Structure 1
Amino acid sequence: MRAIYWLAISTLGLCGELPAQAAAFSADVYRQPQQRWPEAVIHKEAGPVSELAPLPELPPAIWHTEATETLGRQLFFDPRLSGSGQIACASCHDPDLGWADGRRFAFGHNRQAGNRNSMSILNAAWFDQLFWDGRANGLLAQALQPITNPIEMNAELEQVLAKLNRIPGYRTSFAEAFGPGPIDADQLAKALAAFERRIVSRPNRLDRFISGQYNALDDREIFGLHLYRTKAGCLNCHSGALYSDRRFHHTGLSYYGRQYQDSGREQATGRAEDRGKFRTPSLRDLAYTSPWMHNGFFPNLRGILNMYNAGMIGNSQLHPELPPLSPLIQPLQLTPSELEALEAFLHTLSQSPIVVRSPILPKSPPKN
């Protein structure tokens, strides 16, 4: 069935049921194999859009072994990688907080606040470009940047490597993972990346629904799924297994020319046409990664939905040095009941992340 169901519904029922006036829509059109779902509404400038899907197998990496992953887990939780000896990777990417930190802006060295929200590292293995501005091409390129960033961990890489080489437990673990010889930056990056690759979302209710467990979503959530793929236009950017197109879009939230200005992707490319663009975040496990957006501006989902429903701030309010908003940003005219259904559906995209406890760290040698 390839029909598109446009609805005019004023209220939604309780307990996941649609009211009587929603007879034009039947949730059963989604309780069937995905290839028979109603046709998605895709904007002509969205580019290729993948249908929502479960996560695939982890992509291979020859340097990812059990030994490098175990070593990377220790390093990820070790504050000795920072200049102060007090900040670890896990300080901003806490497994109990969706592998983010729950703050609008992260605190770094000397309690300095950054200017961006800490992106969760969930499912980072599938992203080719990391950070909000995409300045790192994959996990290996990303792994060491927070260590040397003066606002984050504020360490000199050579001093970190010297410190690790003085710790007997790390010398042994690095030798087991990479072979004999001094610990170097390449090994440190590979170990951290090997652990970070394993931070993967667990199957959520939508995954189970797609696999044929049609009781995993109720009628209201299925209606929200339908809106996500059609009238609300969410699939244009939040698509595929990651619920992200992995591209960069200008949504008008850069505060350009004002306090909290952030030029976004331009900082990585140097191109004025990238000013104000940020990477589309994944919506997997979004219930555990608030506050949202690059500046942590939104503490609740309804605020985000209301902004998108209004077409964000609109081109007329943009700073004259900014490029136009993404053509995918348009007023949606969703009714209150449709917004409720869409929000209910978004809550089906989360499954509590796997519990990872801090490992026992190698002891530092006695001070002379």
Structure 2
Amino acid sequence: MLAKLLLITTTTLLSEVGPSSAETDATALLWEHYLRPQIMWPALPDDAIADLAMLPAVPAVDTDVLALGTRLFHDPQLSSTGDVSCASCHQAAHAFADPQEVSSGSQGAMGKRNAPALVNTRLWRHFFWDGRSPDLVHQAAIPLADPVEMANSTDAVVNYVGNAESYRQLWRSAYADQAVEWRLIAAAIAEFEQQLQSPPNRLDQFLLAIKQQQWQQAKASLTDQELMGLDIFRGKAGCIKCHNGPLLSDQQFHNTGLHYYGRFYEDLGRFEVTANAHDMGKFRTPSLRQLRDTAPYMHNGLFPHLGGIVNMYSHGGARPQPREPLPTPIYYPQTSDLLVPFRLSEEERRALLAFLQML
């Protein structure tokens, strides 16, 4: 009887001390797979076009143009009613994103999309969720003129900046004797936005240590749980197929099934730019950097927590069907074939979330 009690007590103590030898062996093997040059890591899914990457360094900026752009970005007088600035929807505390589900503009007018983060903008090839702008200078005029955002005009802003005493010295320092014009105002705002960069996270530290073959430093950069999450992100869950490169975005447009076609919240995304039926419901892949700061998530701010997104993707994304049969010529938005259902254990789910929250 005493021996039996000792055996039970010993087994209980061992279970409380830490993981089993099998779990320890599996973790050690996983580290072995990743503590090597990145080209030798476990293979990516067939549809993945790139692997994870560090952010490049921020290039030098023109400090005088930057000072002007900083003031313009934060100035509510650029809106017609003087109550909304660029910073109203792109808040510094939230990686220059909006913590509201959908952003509000002049006199409280509500838009239909969540304002995306403005960090790392110099790396993007398209702007807005639907990619309607090719660069930041072009982008600057769109919210300015939108009646539910700043409800103003470029001419009015040129007139305001050209006559405001508070801008006189800033303009002279930035552009010397050049006349005030919208092109230069937009360039100054873009200069401010282009120097906004996410701070290096522990994934960046891990990738740098791997590149330098500093294996101990690499191992110290991630926890065992986060490494498991990284492996699931690159493999079983297939997140890497769309979230890769330094932005953790492929910069492409995909349909995840959240278009609400034919419903009150309908938003057809990229289709509104291209008028191509096959672009219905497609939105630009968001960056996954600073996820802790940029909730709520998705183009419509639908998800307040990352767990809900993992649940949706584990089912292969949203798969809505038309409420009634459509005539043959009418195209119904199709959820991307890149989204494939996957099954995670509770341990794996926690690991994936830990990795995402670390980004």
Q: Give 5+ residue unaligned stretches, structure 1.
A: 1-12, 350-368
- In 2: Cα distance, 1:318 partner to 1:215 partner: 52
Partner of 1:290: 295
Matched, 1:34 2:34: no
- In 2: Cα distance, 1:318 partner to 1:117 partner: 27
Deviations 1:172-225 (A, max 9, x none): 322321231321010011000000001101100111111223211111110110
The alignment's TM-score, normalised by the length of structure 1, stands at: 0.84
- In 2: Cα distance, 1:14 partner to 1:117 partner: 45
CA contact (8 A) 1:123 1:201 kept: yes
The alignment's TM-score, normalised by the length of structure 2, stands at: 0.87
Partner amino acid, structure 2, of 1:150 = P
Partner of 2:134: 137
- In 2: Cα distance, 1:103 partner to 1:236 partner: 28
In structure 2, do the counterparts of structure 1 residues 204 and 192 end up closer, same or farther at CA, with 3 Å as the change threshold?
A: same
Deviations 1:111-131 (A, max 9, x none): 011100110101111101000
Partner amino acid, structure 2, of 1:68 = V
Partner of 1:359: none
Partner amino acid, structure 1, of 2:166 = G
Return the match for 2:337 from 317, 327, 330. Answer: 327
Q: Give the Å deviation of 1:14.
A: 10
- In 1: Cα distance, 2:175 partner to 2:352 partner: 48
Partner of 2:279: 274
Partner of 1:6: none
Deviations 1:143-175 (A, max 9, x none): 121111110011122111111111123133223
In structure 2, do the counterparts of structure 1 residues 156 and 315 end up closer, same or farther at CA, with 3 Å as the change threshold?
A: closer
SS in 2 for 1:143: helix
Q: Give 5+ residue unaligned stretches, structure 2.
A: 1-14, 210-216
Task: Work out which of the two has the higher radius of gyration on C-alpha atoms and give 1 or 2.
Answer: 2
CA contact (8 A) 2:83 2:107 kept: no
CA contact (8 A) 2:137 2:190 kept: yes
Return the match for 2:234 from 207, 229, 235. Answer: 229
In structure 2, do the counterparts of structure 1 residues 66 and 309 end up closer, same or farther at CA, with 3 Å as the change threshold?
A: same
In structure 2, do the counterparts of structure 1 residues 199 and 92 end up closer, same or farther at CA, with 3 Å as the change threshold?
A: same
Matched, 1:189 2:192: no
Matched, 1:199 2:196: yes
Q: Which has the higher contact order (CA 8 A, sep 6+)?
A: 1
Shift >6 Å, 4+ stretches? none
Matched, 1:118 2:128: no
CA contact (8 A) 2:131 2:270 kept: yes
Partner of 2:8: none
Partner of 1:91: 88
Q: Which has the higher helix share?
A: 2
- In 2: Cα distance, 1:84 partner to 1:345 partner: 43
Partner of 2:145: 148
In structure 2, do the counterparts of structure 1 residues 30 and 65 end up closer, same or farther at CA, with 3 Å as the change threshold?
A: same
Partner amino acid, structure 2, of 1:298 = F
Q: CA RMSD in A?
A: 2.1
Q: Give the Å deviation of 1:226.
A: 0.4
Partner of 2:73: 76
CA contact (8 A) 1:252 1:318 kept: no
In structure 2, do the counterparts of structure 1 residues 59 and 279 end up closer, same or farther at CA, with 3 Å as the change threshold?
A: farther
Matched, 1:215 2:242: no
Partner amino acid, structure 1, of 2:186 = A
- In 2: Cα distance, 1:55 partner to 1:14 partner: 40
- In 2: Cα distance, 1:235 partner to 1:14 partner: 35
Deviations 1:12-41 (A, max 9, x none): x999x8665544452322233323322222
CA contact (8 A) 2:229 2:348 kept: yes
Partner of 1:52: 52
